[in-house]
Chains A and B, each alone.
Chain A
Amino acid sequence: MQTTSDEVLISRIAGGDRLAMQVLYARHHVRVYRFVLRLVRNEATAEDLISEVFLDIWRQAGKFEGRSAASTWMLSIARFKALSALRRRPEEELDEETAEQIEDHADDPETALAKKDKGSALRQCLAKLSADHREIIDLVYYHEKSVEEVAEIVGIPEATVKTRMFYARKKLSELLKEQGIDRGWP
């Protein structure tokens, strides 16, 4: 079975094809939503942003040149929207989030149980990473983006992509160590 490529869908969207827009949305909205949610950490905000991201895709479809994968282009738009939303977010909300993160370090019964499960401990630590580190880990592991594509989405040189990923993983190991799990690296 064959499916219409994203590039073809985008060219149809540029011509005002609403059905093509629905297909593209159905194909990508979940992943784009998760990418945005991991950055803004608020479901309502992420849901609002998803509409904005796809509205931008509708508006900018005519400018898409197909030099990069459509998903890379869409994630770049999503990232820009998420960062703009974070800049608009009131400071007290950010403080609350910071407080939640600090509390997360406390050794409550749930965390203690999690320590026994390496997998869930790893997931907890992944959630505690800084926005920059969360972003790069998600792009590489979940969104399957190459070094070049991450560089394009984040707007940093390829060498920086590699070192940022390395330090994100290093930080992950440190967080795991705080939870009593020593991976023997770095």
Chain B
Amino acid sequence: MNAMKQEAPERQEIEELLPWHAAGTLSRRDAQRVEEALTRDPELARRYALVRDELGETIHLNETLGAPSARALEKLFANIDAEPARRQASLNLGSRMSEFFASLTPRTLALASGAAALAILVQAGFIAGVMLNETKIGGYQTASAPTITDAGTFALIRFAPQASADEVTKFLESNKLSIASGPTAGGLYKVRIAVTGIPKAELARIVKKLQEDKVVGFIATTD
């Protein structure tokens, strides 16, 4: 009896989902719940058959409703012509991005994602390597020539291969950056962003802004 009482609300809940299950618009999780309920509850399965009848006849009914005549399209464009001229605006970055991604086939997209993931892994490994090397104690250090990397806020940068020396210089000057060390074997430079420490959020904002420059191939914060 208690079990029945507990089951009733669940059946009601599942029953309410049947129309969406028939139309194929449920989330995978809900669809699975409904499928499981249908296999164990014959009465629910019978009701599901009714839902499928309704679905079929609703489609049939709508498909017999016809379509508007060409007059509707003519009227629409006559109205559009009467509208104030709209500036043919260039697409914003978001739209261009959606156009770009929409133009990729799923296969291309999958390959690109794979390549991107691999590139990130390689870079992450490389940065880790660089950082480990830097923290190594020992080796030869001149007492008279202390590095200028001691204080401040820094980032690791790899410049874009196509960036010219002039562009790199201008980029460093305009952003008030100075090269503290590098390049490493992987072409990474350690650049000083500020002479003092700056809050993490501010640093992230600066790094994001620098990343947008075409001169920058890769950039990440470092100690």
Report yes or no: A51 in contact with B79, Cβ–Cβ below 8 A: yes
The 8 A CB mask of A1-26 against B (1 = contact, 0 = none) is: 01011011001101111100110010
Report yes or no: A25 in contact with B76, Cβ–Cβ below 8 A: yes
A51-B72 contact, Cβ under 8 Å, with A38-B65, A138-B58, A145-B25: yes
User: Bound state CA distance, A46 and B71, in angstroms?
Assistant: 12
A38-B62 contact, Cβ under 8 Å, with A141-B55, A144-B23: yes
Instruction: Name A's interface SS.
Output: helix
A123-B61 contact, Cβ under 8 Å, with A11-B95, A16-B89, A47-B72: yes
Q: Is A84 an interface residue (CB 8 A)?
A: no
A contact residues around B62 at 8 Å (CB): 34, 38, 138, 142
User: Bound state CA distance, A155 and B80, in angstroms?
Assistant: 29
User: Bound state CA distance, A46 and B80, in angstroms?
Assistant: 19
Report yes or no: B19 in contact with A141, Cβ–Cβ below 8 A: yes
A122-B57 contact, Cβ under 8 Å, with A5-B98, A147-B20, A166-B16: yes
User: Bound state CA distance, A173 and B53, in angstroms?
Assistant: 12
Q: Is A154 an interface residue (CB 8 A)?
A: no
B contact residues around A183 at 8 Å (CB): 50
Considering only CB atoms and an 8 Å cut-off, how many residues of chain B contact the other chain? 53
Report yes or no: A16 in contact with B88, Cβ–Cβ below 8 A: yes
Report yes or no: A4 in contact with B102, Cβ–Cβ below 8 A: yes
Report yes or no: B65 in contact with A37, Cβ–Cβ below 8 A: yes
Report yes or no: B69 in contact with A169, Cβ–Cβ below 8 A: no
Report yes or no: A25 in contact with B73, Cβ–Cβ below 8 A: yes
Q: Is B75 an interface residue (CB 8 A)?
A: yes
A contact residues around B162 at 8 Å (CB): none
B contact residues around A22 at 8 Å (CB): 73
B contact residues around A138 at 8 Å (CB): 58, 62
Shortest CB distance B188–A (Å): 38
User: Bound state CA distance, A54 and B76, in angstroms?
Assistant: 7
User: Bound state CA distance, A16 and B80, in angstroms?
Assistant: 10
Q: Considering residues A2, A4, A147, A149, which has the most beta carbons from chain B within 10 angstroms of its beta carbon?
A: A147
Q: Is A140 an interface residue (CB 8 A)?
A: yes
Q: Is B140 an interface residue (CB 8 A)?
A: no
**Minimum-distance CB pairs A-B, first 10:** A16-B86, A141-B58, A11-B95, A51-B75, A122-B57, A162-B16, A146-B25, A15-B89, A51-B76, A142-B62
**19 A-B Cβ contacts within 8 A?**
A11-B91, A12-B95, A16-B88, A18-B77, A21-B80, A22-B73, A29-B67, A38-B62, A47-B72, A48-B72, A50-B76, A55-B76, A119-B56, A123-B60, A137-B58, A162-B16, A165-B16, A166-B15, A185-B50
A interface list, Cβ under 8 A from B:
2, 4-5, 7-8, 11-12, 14-18, 21-22, 25, 29-30, 33-34, 37-38, 43, 46-48, 50-51, 54-55, 58-59, 66, 118-119, 122-123, 126-127, 137-138, 140-142, 144-147, 149, 162-163, 165-166, 169, 172-173, 183-185
